[in-house]
A and B are shown apart, each in its own frame.
Chain A
Amino acid sequence: MARKKIREYDSKSLLKQNLKRLANIELPICSAQVTKSTDFTELLDKEKWLSARRLVVKPDMLFGKRGKSGLVALNLDFAEVIQFVKKRLGQEIEIEGCKGPITTFIIEPFIPHKEEYYFAIDSERLGCTISFSECGGVEIEEYWDKVNSIFLPTDSPLTNETIAPLIAGLPLEIHGKISDFMKGVFAVFQDLDFSFIEMNPFTLVDGEPYPLDMRGEVDENAGFKNEEKWGNLEFPHPFGRIPSPEESFIHDLNEKTSASLKFTLLNPKGRIWNMIAGGGASLIYTDTVGDLGYAAELGNYTEYGGPSEEEMLKLARVILDCATANPDGRKRALLVGGNIANLTDVGATFDGIIRALKEKKSELREANIHIYVRRGGPNYQTGLAKMQAVGEELGVPVEVYGPEAIMTGICNRAIEGI
């Protein structure tokens, strides 16, 4: 959903292909991607420049400050690159508190350079902010006051005149090249539904603009307009989020349906588990458990909207599997909550949950699960009555509340319970 970060390798490939098409600018960049499935002989066969040039290699995994973390190697030959990669592939690292293995590298020609320019385009509600600085590079944050920005309203074109104040400090003879490049990148940005592009830095090679480092974000909602232009574009998980098999399963399920299904595992040993309907309400339930001081016991974040009975069954199974996985004799709580629905048939949604509960009867009892239900909306009376009845049938304690109860009241009940 919405904005997705893409790999540097993809950002650069998309830029190279489309800059040619939209602005007739031939970008002389080359890049190659390496993962654990890469066969270096095949790669060399496809990318001949790898053996002909000195190289740079760095992780391509949506995190920054790679140079500062010692993860960028400069001026190597291909054999040294392979050695560098093999030593680090799969290695666990920590970046700003997030831990994870390195899985993907990008290899590029080593470009000795003088100029380091900063260039970024950021999509905002009323237009785009376009930023430029002569002092780009790894120290950009220290020179943040040297970054110039202009705001380009949505319906205005990017012209030499609008760019002029950004690049006023550059030698006059390169104004034309830099302006054309910026206009070209902006055209790609718009045509391919990017929401963010940053080059830090780009330089000049033989007088031609040449991006050394690049970050990109696209608007996933525009995927249907860009099927051909994007190709098989990958949306990697943010660094440090290695999805559990359960999370991947729900993620895949979500991709295939018009319903909304989200599941994030927070603490497999937690004793408070969420099964919450609605984007707004799911957030508030999770907040409330935190506000009450029980964040550490929270097993998961879950949100669902408009699922079919089958989809609800699958989501509920996953949550119940996790919630009952580590029984420790102590009481646990399952929050089946939600706001007062506008149009979801509450009775029907609960049918999927009830099927999952019946399947996991013994697990629920063994894990000492107590179920707290709160929901309103179409047909909620039927839904609540069914939940009450299934509790009696399975011998699992169930408390039900309707629209008259405060939405997050069951969080208190659950916490008192455990």
Chain B
Amino acid sequence: MATGQLFSRTTQALFYNYKQLPIQRMLDFDFLCGRETPSVAGIINPGAEGFQKLFFGQEEIAIPVHSTIEAACAAHPTADVFINFASFRSAAASSMAALKQPTIRVVAIIAEGVPESDTKQLITYARSNNKVVIGPATVGGIQAGAFKIGDTAGTIDNIIQCKLYRPGSVGFVSKSGGMSNEMYNTIARVTDGIYEGIAIGGDVFPGSTLSDHVLRFNNIPQVKMMVVLGELGGRDEYSLVEALKQGKVNKPVVAWVSGTCARLFKSEVQFGHAGAKSGGEMESAQAKNQALREAGAVVPTSYEAFEAVIKETFEKLVEEGKITPVKEVKPPQIPEDLNTAIKSGKVRAPTHIISTISDDRGEEPCYAGVPMSSIVEQGYGVGDVISLLWFKRSLPRYCTHFIEICIMLCADHGPCVSGAHNTIVTARAGKDLVSSLVSGLLTIGPRFGGAIDDAARYFKDAYDRGLTPYEFVEGMKKKGIRVPGIGHRIKRGDNRDKRVELLQRFAHTHFPSVKYMEYAVQVETYTLSKANNLVLNVDGAIGSLFLDLLAGSGMFSKQEIDEIVEIGYLNGLFVLARSIGLIGHTFDQKRLKQPLYRHPWEDVLYTK
């Protein structure tokens, strides 16, 4: 490795595996630093192409999305950093593919849990091709005022607090990503700030090591001193010791190796990072601190004293006149995202949609406040779910059972009715399930299936106004309206519809009151006296019984009942029920591989 600067104010990266937040954070940092070009040139999202909209300051920009690494590198030949947000399963393969691209110089791997043997392959390839791997298991790194990898240094407030929008004089390297952010704060408090900071990641074999970066910092003229935060486990710190002893580093190095506590644990302990394991004495924090101290690094007595020795070392450089005073700049204000502003209570925005029946935001979805687990564990049925989602309340079991019976009775009525016919024709035209289903559903209306709603409306109106069956029927006749819910193509007064009988029997057994149905039966008695086929049909039975359900359950106010009847709940019941049959017809036709339907000429009367 060695050589010097990895990044500049014009460095651009390719970002693998689209993640909105880290990219936005990079672009916000760019804006804060006054960069002219965004630091992300392109995004690679396997299998997807197009553009992603993101903010660059106040402006929205569209960043190209490529489906392969090769395509992205070809499209953006000046982007030389590859930021890999792939999971631990695929991070190694995509990183190797990136390293093999001639345009890519630096690969940063964020994933934690990349297999050691895979990382070793990456290290070997990078070494023999003069490329740099940062990570795995890292947050990344930052060159102050120039370029930032992903989520490094956290929030904008923090970046401003640490003055990372302009370069200072300190080169920093650590294993831990979390601690690197802590140290950016510490270093900003006691020096003129970070020039560059790298977190090499917590793995046993990092792609690049603490000493790799210290030696590189040594070659960057703007870096005047180095701060290193090591950890117990591994022997990387000893390469730094060697480099110091050999005089390869001619700038002050302030170092601390954490993990002195390992001695408190009797047996072997795996600490937070994979590489942090109490191994032999050589790998202990104490031994490494001692070796670094002896090799000439400034090593404090504890982490607590780290800040003080960084301060001392920096002040000494100032006294020696080795630090050029930093020109302070005021970073521009980053417009706040609406979501953040709302969260912090600074602004409010009206919502565009209101919903009262369900909520999917918590641990589990709720229907009308009832969590999914209760619905399943308490043995709710489809009728109960309809009750929750349509009526926003838990109706008694006899009501929901009645709803289920209605759905079962209305689920299908053979292939010849217009809805099923349309579905069959559409399915045979090779259309998909949804097209076939809706072509059938679209026939539902005043002449097909719509009678339940109307039956309920007219029976309710007549009963509530106290009309006798005679007044009602004759009144309708005067207006030229057929009484909905009365009349059947086949059934007669002496051969009733079985379905109607079943519903009536259920209601007599379970409903507290059946006044609307009794009224409907009185109307039927009157119409039967006019013609033998004017029986109460299934639409009339469901319509009138539903009124009894609403009124008799005692769970609805009068206004609510009026509204339910008015906005078409009963039609909803039919649409829902018949969908079951229509879907069945679609599958049936597809299973039977029926060809395109063409109506026969013979069956059409061609006339003028």
Query: A-side interface residues toward B, CB under 8 Å?
Result: 1-3, 97-98, 123-127, 153-155, 190, 193, 195, 219, 221-222, 224-225, 238-241, 260, 262, 264, 266, 277-284, 286-291, 295, 298, 301, 303, 305, 310, 338-343, 376-379, 403, 406-408, 412
Interface centre among B121, B178, B269 (most CB of A within 10 A): B178
Q: Could you tell me the distance in whole angstroms from the C-beta of B45 to the nearest C-beta in chain A?
A: 21
Contact of B266 among A2, A97, A287, A406 (CB under 8 A): A97
Contact of B302 among A155, A287, A376 (CB under 8 A): A287
Query: B-side interface residues toward A, CB under 8 Å?
Result: 21, 88-89, 113-118, 120-121, 123-125, 127-128, 139, 151-155, 158, 161, 174-179, 181-182, 185-186, 202-205, 209, 229, 231-232, 258-261, 263-277, 285, 301-304, 307, 343, 363
Interface contact B274-A266, CB-CB below 8 Å: no
Known contacts A123-B116, A280-B272; A295 and B153 CB within 8 A of each other: no
Chain A residue nearest in CB terms to B184 = A340
Chain B residue nearest in CB terms to A123 = B116
Contact of B267 among A221, A239, A342 (CB under 8 A): A239
Interface contact B304-A221, CB-CB below 8 Å: no
Interface contact B267-A340, CB-CB below 8 Å: no
* Residues from chain A with Cβ under 8 Å of B274 in the complex: 1-3, 221
Interface contact A262-B272, CB-CB below 8 Å: yes
Interface contact B204-A340, CB-CB below 8 Å: no
Interface contact A280-B175, CB-CB below 8 Å: yes
Q: Could you tell me the distance in whole angstroms from the C-beta of B302 to the nearest C-beta in chain A?
A: 4
| Separation of A406 and B306 alpha carbons in the complex (Å) | 11
| Separation of A377 and B120 alpha carbons in the complex (Å) | 33
With A98-B266, A287-B285, A408-B304 given, name 12 new contacts (CB 8 A). Answer: A3-B274, A98-B267, A123-B120, A126-B123, A221-B88, A221-B274, A264-B269, A279-B176, A279-B178, A284-B258, A295-B261, A377-B158
Q: Could you tell me the distance in whole angstroms from the C-beta of B217 to the nearest C-beta in chain A?
A: 20
Interface contact A281-B124, CB-CB below 8 Å: no
Q: Could you tell me the distance in whole angstroms from the C-beta of B150 to the nearest C-beta in chain A?
A: 9
| Separation of A3 and B275 alpha carbons in the complex (Å) | 9
Chain A residue nearest in CB terms to B260 = A287
| Separation of A190 and B277 alpha carbons in the complex (Å) | 23
Interface contact B261-A287, CB-CB below 8 Å: yes
* Residues from chain A with Cβ under 8 Å of B139 in the complex: 342
* Residues from chain B with Cβ under 8 Å of A125 in the complex: 120, 123, 205, 209
Interface contact A221-B116, CB-CB below 8 Å: yes
Q: Could you tell me the distance in whole angstroms from the C-beta of A238 to the nearest C-beta in chain B?
A: 4
* Residues from chain A with Cβ under 8 Å of B302 in the complex: 287-288, 291
Interface contact B266-A240, CB-CB below 8 Å: yes
Interface contact A123-B154, CB-CB below 8 Å: no
| Separation of A305 and B261 alpha carbons in the complex (Å) | 20
10 nearest A-B residue pairs (beta carbon): A279-B272, A280-B176, A2-B274, A280-B179, A222-B115, A278-B178, A339-B182, A286-B261, A154-B124, A291-B302
Q: Could you show 15 A-B contacts with beta carbons less than 8 Å apart? A: A2-B116, A2-B204, A123-B117, A154-B123, A219-B115, A260-B272, A279-B276, A280-B177, A280-B273, A283-B232, A284-B179, A287-B258, A301-B271, A378-B155, A407-B182
* Residues from chain B with Cβ under 8 Å of A262 in the complex: 270-272
Chain A residue nearest in CB terms to B152 = A342
Q: Could you tell me the distance in whole angstroms from the C-beta of A15 to the nearest C-beta in chain B?
A: 17
Interface contact B178-A341, CB-CB below 8 Å: yes
Interface contact B271-A290, CB-CB below 8 Å: no
* Residues from chain B with Cβ under 8 Å of A241 in the complex: 267-268
Q: Could you tell me the distance in whole angstroms from the C-beta of A298 to the nearest C-beta in chain B?
A: 7
* Residues from chain B with Cβ under 8 Å of A280 in the complex: 174-179, 182, 202, 229, 231, 258, 272-273
Q: Could you tell me the distance in whole angstroms from the C-beta of B115 to the nearest C-beta in chain A?
A: 4
Interface contact B267-A126, CB-CB below 8 Å: no
* Residues from chain B with Cβ under 8 Å of A97 in the complex: 266
Known contacts A193-B115, A287-B258, A287-B302; A281 and B123 CB within 8 A of each other: no
Contact of B117 among A219, A301, A378, A407 (CB under 8 A): A219
* Residues from chain B with Cβ under 8 Å of A224 in the complex: 88-89
Interface contact A291-B116, CB-CB below 8 Å: no
Known contacts A2-B277, A126-B124; A283 and B271 CB within 8 A of each other: yes
Interface contact B154-A340, CB-CB below 8 Å: yes
| Separation of A190 and B276 alpha carbons in the complex (Å) | 23
| Separation of A224 and B186 alpha carbons in the complex (Å) | 39
* Residues from chain B with Cβ under 8 Å of A289 in the complex: 261
Chain B residue nearest in CB terms to A189 = B117
Q: Could you tell me the distance in whole angstroms from the C-beta of B158 to the nearest C-beta in chain A?
A: 6
Interface contact A408-B303, CB-CB below 8 Å: yes
* Residues from chain B with Cβ under 8 Å of A153 in the complex: 124
* Residues from chain B with Cβ under 8 Å of A286 in the complex: 261, 264
| Separation of A102 and B121 alpha carbons in the complex (Å) | 40
| Separation of A114 and B261 alpha carbons in the complex (Å) | 45
Interface centre among B123, B260, B265 (most CB of A within 10 A): B260
* Residues from chain B with Cβ under 8 Å of A155 in the complex: 121, 124-125, 128
Known contacts A378-B155, A403-B161, A403-B185; A154 and B272 CB within 8 A of each other: no
Interface contact B275-A2, CB-CB below 8 Å: yes
